[in-house]
């Protein structure tokens, strides 16, 4: 039991993932978090940022363009996996019972978010944990046109997968000592993403109430 909890602790520790798993594990984590509903808990934004930061200090010894492009392609590929999962098996999630790996409310939030923003949700959701994981699944479940999905998926994947690592890289280049404050960076990203999710949730909830009210008239 202790070894299992230690494994999950490792999977959620961005610093360990980068230092011991390298770029391959980073890409696998990104692929899973963008495509499998049970991988929503994996680190996202701050993993990408720290990958760029560690790249600047050579703890991740790859050129930054290789790191950023690899992450972006992994995110795009992961979302394609989520799309096809949603297309063929997504309806089964509606009847799935809640568990540690699956919360139906996460699916409903993502569905409302997708309904509000349409295809743009695939771009916006990249920067929002949990919703990022479920959006491609929702797109597949509602049988979104594949060419439209592909366009939004590529734009969102490239924007998210390149922006954060490159930002981390240049910040590390400008302030090398920042590597000593990794835990504060993680806390900062958690605070920002949590705020974004909560704000979007209440925004979508308010929009849903307005729509219901208008339909009732």
Predicted pLDDT of residue 10: 47
Predicted pLDDT of residue 43: 75
Determine the Cα–Cα distance for residues 207 and 213; give it in Å rounded to an integer: 10
In a domain, 75, yes or no: yes
Predicted pLDDT of residue 88: 87
In a domain, 66, yes or no: yes
pLDDT tens, residue by residue, 70-119: 999 999 999 999 999 988 877 776 666 766 556 677 677 777 777 777 78
pLDDT at residue 16 tops 80: no
In a domain, 111, yes or no: yes
Q: DSSP assignment of 152-213, as one string?
A: HHHHHHHHHHHHHHHHHHHHHHH-GGGGGGHHHHHHHHHHHHHHHHHHHHHHHHHHHHHHHH
In a domain, 159, yes or no: yes
Q: Structure tokens of 114?
A: 């997708």
In a domain, 59, yes or no: yes
Let me know how many helices (H) and strands (E) the chain has, helices first.
10, 0
Q: Is the pLDDT higher at 6 or at 44?
A: 44
Q: Averaged over 146-160, what is the pLDDT?
A: 94
Which structural domain, as residue segments, surrounds residue 25?
2-212
pLDDT at residue 174 tops 90: no
- Non-local (6+) Cβ contacts of 66 within 8 A are 23
In a domain, 62, yes or no: yes
Under DSSP, the state recorded for 39 is: G
Residue-averaged pLDDT of the chain? 79
pLDDT at residue 176 tops 80: yes
In a domain, 151, yes or no: yes
Determine the Cα–Cα distance for residues 129 and 194; give it in Å rounded to an integer: 8
Widest distance between CA atoms in the chain: 62
pLDDT tens, residue by residue, 23-78: 999 999 999 999 888 887 787 788 898 899 999 988 888 999 999 999 999 999 99
Predicted structure pTM score: 0.77
Determine the Cα–Cα distance for residues 139 and 111; give it in Å rounded to an integer: 9
Q: Structure tokens of 59?
A: 């703890």
In a domain, 217, yes or no: no
Predicted pLDDT of residue 100: 55
Predicted pLDDT of residue 132: 87
How many residues are given for the chain? 217
Share of the chain above pLDDT 70, in %: 74
Q: Averaged over 118-144, what is the pLDDT?
A: 85
Q: Residue with structure tokens 């999962």?
A: 85
What's the number of domains the chain is made of? 1
Per-residue confidence at 177, pLDDT binned at 50, 70, 90? confident
């Amino acid at each position: 039991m202790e070894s299992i909890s230690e494994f999950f602790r490792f999977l959620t520790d961005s610093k360990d993932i980068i230092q011991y798993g390298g770029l391959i594990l980073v890409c696998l984590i990104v692929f899973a978090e963008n495509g499998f509903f049970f991988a929503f808990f994996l680190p996202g934004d701050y993993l990408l940022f720290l990958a760029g930061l560690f790249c600047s200090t050579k703890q991740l010894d790859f050129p930054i363009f290789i790191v950023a492009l690899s992450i972006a392609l992994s995110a795009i590929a992961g979302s394609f996996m989520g799309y096809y999962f949603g297309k063929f098996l997504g309806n089964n999630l509606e009847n799935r019972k809640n568990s540690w790996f699956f919360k139906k409310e996460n699916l409903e939030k993502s569905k409302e978010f997708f309904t509000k923003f349409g295809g743009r949700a695939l771009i916006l959701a990249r920067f929002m944990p949990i919703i990022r994981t479920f959006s491609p699944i929702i797109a597949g479940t509602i049988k979104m046109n594949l060419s439209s999905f592909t366009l939004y998926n590529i734009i969102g994947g490239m924007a998210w997968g390149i922006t954060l690592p490159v930002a981390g890289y240049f910040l590390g280049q400008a302030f090398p000592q920042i590597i000593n404050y990794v835990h504060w960076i993680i806390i900062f990203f958690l605070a920002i993403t949590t705020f974004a999710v909560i704000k979007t949730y209440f925004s979508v909830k308010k929009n849903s109430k307005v729509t219901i009210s208008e339909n009732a008239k």
